[in-house]
Structure 1
Amino acid sequence: MSDKPELTISFVVVGGGIAGLACAIALRRVGHRVLVLERYSDAEVSKMSHGGIRLPPNVSKVLFHWGLEGPLRQVSITSRAMEVDIYETGEFIGTHRWEEEVLRETGGEFLFLHHDGLRRVLYEAAIAAGAQVRAGATVVSVSGDRPHVTLSTGETLLADVIIGADGRSSLVQQAIVGKDIFDAAPYQHLFYNTTVPGALMRADPQLALFFKQPVETMYVWLGNNRSACAFRMGGKDEYALHLWVPSRQKGLSDDDCWGGGLDLNEMRRQLGECEPRLQKMTKLAATPARVQVKMVPPIEDWVDEHGRMVILGEAAHPLPAGSLQGGAMAVEDAAVLGKLFSHLRDKDQISTFLHAFQDLREDRCASVVHTEQCNMYFQMMPAGPQQEQRDQDMRAKTAQGESVFCGGEASEQWEQLKVLCGYDAEDEADNWWVNWGLLRERAKQRSLDMEAEMNTARLGSLRLRA
């Protein structure tokens, strides 16, 4: 367990998804009181937790450190390789294997699992750690002035700190920033997230080949303004299928749709020209979730003017939908926040720690967002000379028996990924405390000591005069 603070305080976390539950675990690990408010019921949340999620090493190592390696391994598959194909034709371009040396250096693994499986692991861990989670609790307003939240029932809940882990179009974000940053951003693509039953795939000779390949292989299709990826998930006999496609015609609604009610035929029509395996998988797929893919500008203020309310995860730094690092950034945020508040001694530090949290996370998250945007462009590069050069470089590497991500533009993408995955959120928070936090506390104590000495001297002078 982490070190316990001298002072424990109460946190209200708005949002019971990955970000909110990870916050609850991180803060309970250091002894603080945590209440998580989730607007949807457990059944609704499970229904909305569509499709698969990929956990890169930078987040799996945090979760392992929190004691969740066993539960995670029960519901996940460890990825070892990636196959790259052409979206329109199915042409095999090459493969890439995660280098064992790189994975050892990162301290984690690539895990594939169902989104609902991850949420269930985090939920059970948060409850076991002593957090309270209230489902069906709709927050209608928040304030950092005498921090409190108001529910739709009229109930008001007080806290020392309010955390906005309520995703894009966050209510807490709007209270801090004054507007809905995500809603105002334009979009050009849609992301569909769905699953395909393994039994149905094995019944088709062409799709059955996916099960004859090593179980840990992820498949990525590079297309003209489109892309797809598919991978087996642990815990269920299903394949996850992610699709990125252009937005639909004007006049048709492209609103986010999580909880069912989406026409499968719509997703199939969005495929455009694509290879037969993808067509077959979408015909067998479950009802998908649909999300707008937006490139959101950085949010300047994560902390409110009172220094008692903060946003994190997608509320603070939205990534393009379907990003590899989407869930990872939320858990990293939680890990850093927990580490900072493990040093709490008095309430005057709360604002300092919340601003330190933004300082620590801002550049890291901006870098990740930029990399994910570059990855998305790389996967959906429009047809033309640059796309042809990309494909030709990878074909040449395959012909030489090398990984497709060795040399050239693809290599740059992989090098960036290695840097991202080697990051250790908790170490960064520890370094801040040693290099800055302790210095501030010592300077503050010296100031208090000097003030006390001056007061003692004044009192002595007054006594002499008397």
Structure 2
Amino acid sequence: MYDKAKLSIKFLVVGGGIAGLACAIALRRVGHHVVVLERYSDADISTMSHGGIGLPPNVSKILFHWGLERALRRVSITSAVVEVDIYETGEFIGTHRWEEEVLRETRGEYLFLHHDGLRRVLYEAAITAGAEVRAGVTVASVSSDGPHVTLTTGEKLLADVIVGADGRSSLVQQAIVGEDIHGGAPYHCLFYNTTIPGALMRADPDLAPFFTQSIESMFVWLGNNRSALGFRVGGKDEFALQLWVPPRQKGISDGDCWGGGIDLNEMQRQLGPCEPRLLKMTKLVATPTRVQVKMVSPIEDWVDEHGRLVIIGEAAHPLPAGSLQGGAMAVEDAAVLAKLFSHLRDKDQIPTLLHAFQDLREDRCASVVHSEQSNLYFQMMPAGPKQEQRDQDMRAKAAQGESVFGGGEAAEQWEQLKELFGYDAEDEADDWWVKWGLLRERAKQRSLDMEAEMNTPRPSNFRLRA
């Protein structure tokens, strides 16, 4: 159990997705009051939450620590193996099995589940913890004066801290930096996220093995400027399919599209040359979401000048759409923020703790963003000598009965992943408090004691000695 803060304050969290709900859970665990504002209703969110999501060990261990292991296991499948194939031909390259020793050291597991399943686990945990979640409300403006938010209805809500967990093109981010960082950035490719009903997968002899014989496998297809990822999701009779493809023809809208409105023929045309099984899958999918994949420059300020507004998750450090660590970074942010605010004694500490949050998270998130960008390039590597060498190295490892990530550029990718998995966000926050937070508090207390002593009246017979 976490230590409770000596002083409880009110947090307004803008955004009720993974970042916002995780933030609500974490802050309630340390005793703060939390109100989450979500613009979409629960029904709207369910129709928009298409596709699967992975929870790598660095985040599953946090959620387990929060007491959510049983709830997560009901809606997830534990991944044990990665199978690598060639996108254009379906050639089987080899496999990689998650090393038990590595997972044991990271104290987590790699879980696959439906995006909606994860959100519902977090939502129920937030409500149980005592957070208030207001769905179907839209924030019109955010101000550090107060600070407060104003809803489109005209209602004004005050808080001690406003947390922007409202994703890319965040309203809170714009209040801090003065512009929409994500919206104006060019995009690299398109990302489609969808699922296929299990009954349809089982009915096709070519597709059934993905669903029935390889329950614990994640499938990665490496292609020429294209890539795909597939896995069975827990809690639902579905198979998740994710695609990264080039932009559509010039002059055709490629905007983000959530909750319908996408012509499946359009997605199939975007596949380009691909193996027959992938083409079959796309003919069976449910309504997909489509998101632009952008490589966004780091955002310099996560905290406003008054130290009362802060951004987390995709609002603070946007990752390429479909990143393996997308949900993980949001939960890590929430864990660190709460750990820091478990030490709150007076409101004068608020700006210091918010800036400490950015200091603690900035390098970690920048490293993850770089890793995810590198991983996407590895998966979508253009045809040529470098791509041929990558595939040759992996084939050679597989022929020796070894992991395909055991040599060459693939080994470098795997080493980065192991480092990412082993990170413990809560331990990092504890270390900061011991090394720096306590020192600052003690220095502040000494200063107050000296000031009090200077202001204490002296006895009339008091004499300074030489």
Q: Place the TM-score, normalised by the shorter chain, in its bin.
A: over 0.9
Where do 1:6-405 residues align within 5 Å?
6-405=6-405
Give CA-to-partner distance per residue, 1:54-95, whole Å, 9 cap, x none.
000000000000000000000000000010000000000000
| Paired residue type of 1:290 | R
Moved over 6 A (4+): 461-465
Asked whether the equivalents of residues 60 and 108 of structure 2 are also in contact (C-alpha less than 8 Å), the reply is yes
How far apart, CA to CA, are the structure 1 residues paired with 2:195 and 2:95? 23
**Pairwise CA distance, 1:262:** 1.1
Aligned equivalent of 1:460: 458
**Runs of 5+ consecutive residues of structure 1 not aligned to the other structure:** none
**Cα separation, 2, equivalents of 1:82 and 1:275:** 18
Q: Is the 8 A contact 2:193 2:289 kept in 1?
A: yes
Shift, 1:213, TM fit: 2.5
* Secondary structure of residue in 1 paired with 2:445: helix
How many angstroms apart in 2 are the aligned matches of 1:345 and 1:434? 16
Q: Which moved more, 1:181-190 or 1:16-25?
A: 181-190
CA distance in 1, matches of 2:343, 2:244: 43
User: 3-state DSSP class of the match of 2:193?
Assistant: strand
Cα separation, 2, equivalents of 1:283 and 1:72: 30
TM value normalised by structure 1: 0.98
Q: 1:175, CA displacement in angstroms?
A: 0.6
- What CA distance in whole angstroms lies between the structure 2 residues aligned with 1:113 and 1:211? 14
Q: CA deviation at 1:214?
A: 2.9
Cα 1:211–1:45, aligned 2, differ >3 Å: closer, same or farther? Answer: closer
Q: 1:461 & 1:292 partners in 2: Cα distance?
A: 74
- Asked if the contact 2:167–2:314 (Cα under 8 Å) also holds between the matched residues in 1, the reply is yes
Counterpart residue type for residue 193 of structure 1 = N
How far did residue 211 of structure 1 move? 2.9
Q: For residue 241 of structure 2, give the secondary structure of its aligned residue in structure 1.
A: strand
Provide the secondary structure at the position in 1 that maps to 2:283. helix
Residue 272 of structure 2 aligns to which amino acid in structure 1?
G
Q: Output the aligned Cα RMSD.
A: 1.0
- How far off is 1:463 after superposition? 8.4
Shift of residue 249, structure 1, vs aligned partner: 1.0
List per-residue Cα deviations over 1:293-344 (Å, max 9, x = no partner).
Answer: 0000000000001100000000000000000000000000000001000000
Residues 232 and 240 of structure 2 are in contact (CA less than 8 Å); yes or no, is this contact kept in structure 1?
yes
Deviations 1:255-311 (A, max 9, x none): 100121111111111000000000000000011000000000000000001100000
The alpha carbon displacement at 1:462 in A equals 7.4
Matched pairs, number = 463
Give secondary structure in 2 for the equivalent of 1:250.
coil
Aligned amino acid, residue 19 of structure 1: A
Q: Distance in 2 between matches of 1:237 and 1:32?
A: 38
Q: Helix, strand or coil: the match of 1:348?
A: helix
Q: Are 2:398 and 2:404, in contact at CA under 8 Å, matched by a contact in 1?
A: yes
Residue identity (%): 83
TM-score, normalised to structure 2, is 0.98
1:104-124 deviations in whole A, cap 9, x for unaligned?
Answer: 000000000000000000000
CA distance in 2, matches of 1:38, 1:208: 39
Residue type at the aligned position of 1:306 = H
Q: SS at the partner of 2:345?
A: coil
Name the CA distance, whole Å, in 2 between partners of 1:170 and 1:369.
18
